[in-house]
Structure 1
């Protein structure tokens, strides 16, 4: 929220628009979580990622000293808890135990069960696929036991790029300031004629 506030002030000062947290999570998944909470205001939402490649975790591993190449896979274990399966190639002169300890101590991994595996070639195990399951169990009005699920199986970089394009399109419709995706009208994410989109989707 501090970043959003500081960017909001800068954007307004310069008469421009920025949209932050605009991938698929955070981003489009945030919009889905918001909708689920709106239709069941009381309850719990679980976000279960994977199985698949986490771009953020992979970048974090690559920044660890001694790592030549890396892949971090996210494995869902349920109720929003995840296992991290990390595959690395080492730079010459580094040992697995030391590098694995540094990875597990990184804030990206410290809260999750993490396994670090040395492989001859990361390229041989890499897969850009990913996914998510959003589940909300809650209450609508006084009605108990409302259950909603949203599932995706995706190519991570492709979907991230598509959401960024949607967010860039939406900036053209907003007043100066900094926004998250849940603050942007969903219709502004779409290409084409506004009235035609309403006619088609409502």
Structure 2
């Protein structure tokens, strides 16, 4: 009897390809199919590829669907559609819109008796857990999040959605001086948008208005509007040569004092060679947790805060207590 978790992938960009690889590393899972808006024959993969219009043919053949599109355009349309028929996991990363996004998906998933985990990944996601842990243990203190240096998938995707942009990437770079102060437990009270720079490298279509594109990027709410943003226009050749890798990472740091005025620091750090492959690995682990919770009868939308960490593992509770506790 095949008792492996049956996974579907929606979208085959960087996250979709990373998810395909991650599933192959988990023996308790199988990839049923990749659903795409493109012609299935165009995808360079040996996996089963299905046009997204035929998704409902698989509604009883997939345990969890992992949505791998971008937050700027794709997920807002695809997750509401998919969560009517499947348990889902997504990586929606527009922090400011998460509350309304949660409510929307929750209403749909409750009506359809499905379970939808929103905004998984590493930020939002693992960094969110680190912030919760730090603030709960050291309430008399301050929490800091530093991103980078690295390429942000969500911000790069948002850039590429702008009319006239052929391709582009965005690097998030923390201010080293501020990071050093925080690591030394100094009290730094400035907003996160002043703790980072955003540097964009853009390839435009021929004849496009570069001033318009730069203004659209710098004024984009929730992504660039409040940040020190630098826009560089480069050739496609230069982009492929110098910006073809996708590293990222960052820090979540909680500093604070306990009652005797003793100082403490909690630090969570990620250093990633491949942002999409790591993000995909997080999504796949949380797909396992969603499957377990769905079998228990949980419905509606949930976030990473609602999932016991033990549910991420393929091991039993007894194994976890013996090996890791």
Same fold (TM over 0.5): yes
Provide the residue aligned with 2:242 in structure 1.
125
Deviations, residues 50-104 of structure 1 (Å, cap 9, x unaligned): 0000001101111112211101111011463210110011111124333212211
Q: Name whichever structure is richer in strand by fraction.
A: 1
Which runs of structure 2 are paired with 1:38-53 in the superposition (5 Å)? 38-53=136-151
Q: 1:184 to 1:140 in 2, by over 3 A?
A: farther
Provide the residue aligned with 1:183 in structure 2.
306
- Matched position secondary structure for 1:169: helix
Matched, 1:109 2:224: yes
TM-score (norm 2): 0.59
Gaps of 5+ in 1: none
- Matched position secondary structure for 2:283: helix
Q: How many Å separate the matches in 2 of 1:53 and 1:24? A: 13
Q: How many Å separate the matches in 2 of 1:10 and 1:96? A: 41
Matched, 1:195 2:318: yes
Which runs of structure 2 are paired with 1:70-89 in the superposition (5 Å)? 70-77=168-175, 78=178, 80=192, 81-89=195-203
Which runs of structure 2 are paired with 1:56-95 in the superposition (5 Å)? 56-77=154-175, 78=178, 80=192, 81-95=195-209
Instruction: Name which of 125, 135, 160 aligns with 1:27.
Output: 125
1:39 and 1:140 in contact (8 A); partners too: no
Gaps of 5+ in 2: 1-98, 180-191
Deviations, residues 147-184 of structure 1 (Å, cap 9, x unaligned): 11111111210111011111111112221121100111
Report which structure shows greater RCO (CA 8 Å, sep ≥6). 1
Deviations, residues 111-136 of structure 1 (Å, cap 9, x unaligned): 10011111123212222000111111
